[in-house]
């Protein structure tokens, strides 16, 4: 158990809908990261938040947005969903997250299925 | 661009050592080498990381070549639980977009009983 929790575990929705994925980092970790894992694209970094502020952006679509709240939990919002958004979404956290030296701890993931 | 090269797959026998290679020929002096693994149906899991010298922890050892252009993850005695995809990742000391984990395809390790 990494100490990172994600809810829900599974999510099934229809095209065009909007969903919110939630992540609680390990106690004391200031950074939260979001990743998408699909069969054809592998594991892709989406976005990082550090202490409430966006720190780094990866291959995140404009239809997707994220935020980190004062209690450090984070939410990933996916809107206008398409079939291709079906994937595993992982959240990770790290103690600081301002250096490539940092270790990231991953949650169990949310499996999103768009029908 | 993962900036590292790993074999697609490797096989090992249970209780034997496993050496997983990784090439990172364009590595800079301030890039760390991280190894993560992903067991089936789970999130990635940190294994080990290093900068210049060899590193050991309870899970594995990391041997970094003197010129730092390659490294090897060593599992001293493979168990069935070690069957996973192993990712070798470079990250910049200075963080930012280059400090994040850029996953390649990794090496799928199979362990035979």
| B43: closest chain A residue by CA | A108
Residue B43: which of A58, A90, A102 has the nearest Cβ? A90
Predicted local confidence at residue B30, as pLDDT? 86
Spatial CB neighbours of A15, under 8 Å, sequence gap ≥ 6:
A81, A82, A83, A114, A115
Predicted local confidence at residue B84, as pLDDT? 97
User: In which band, very low, low, confident or very high, does the pLDDT at B96 lie, cut at 50, 70 and 90?
Assistant: low
User: In which band, very low, low, confident or very high, does the pLDDT at B99 lie, cut at 50, 70 and 90?
Assistant: low
* pLDDT at residue B98 tops 80: no
d(CA B96, nearest CA chain A) in Å: 6
Name every chain B residue with its beta carbon within 8 A of the beta carbon of A99: 93-95, 99
Residue A99: which of B45, B46, B99 has the nearest Cβ? B99
Name every chain A residue with its beta carbon within 8 A of the beta carbon of B47: none
């Amino acid at each position: 158990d990494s100490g990172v929790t994600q809810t829900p575990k599974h999510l099934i929705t229809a095209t065009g809908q909007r969903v919110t994925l939630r992540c609680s980092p390990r106690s004391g970790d200031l950074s939260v990261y979001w990743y998408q894992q699909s069969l054809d694209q592998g594991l892709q970094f989406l976005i990082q938040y550090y202490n409430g502020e966006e720190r780094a952006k990866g291959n995140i679509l404009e239809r997707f947005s994220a935020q980190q709240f004062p209690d450090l939990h984070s939410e990933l919002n996916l809107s206008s969903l398409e079939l291709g958004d079906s994937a595993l979404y992982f959240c990770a956290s790290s103690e600081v997250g301002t250096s490539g030296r940092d270790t990231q701890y991953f949650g169990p993931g949310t499996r999103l299925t768009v029908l | 661009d993962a900036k590292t090269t790993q074999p697609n797959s490797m096989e090992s026998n249970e209780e034997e050592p496993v050496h997983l290679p990784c090439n990172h020929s364009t590595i800079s002096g301030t890039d760390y080498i991280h190894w993560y693994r992903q067991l089936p149906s789970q999130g990635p899991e940190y294994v080990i990381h290093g900068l210049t010298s060899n590193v050991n922890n309870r899970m594995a050892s990391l041997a970094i070549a003197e010129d730092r252009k390659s490294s090897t993850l060593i599992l001293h005695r493979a168990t069935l639980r070690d069957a996973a995809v192993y990712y070798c990742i470079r990250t910049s000391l200075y963080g930012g977009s280059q400090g994040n984990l850029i996953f390649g395809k990794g090496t799928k390790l199979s362990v035979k009983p």
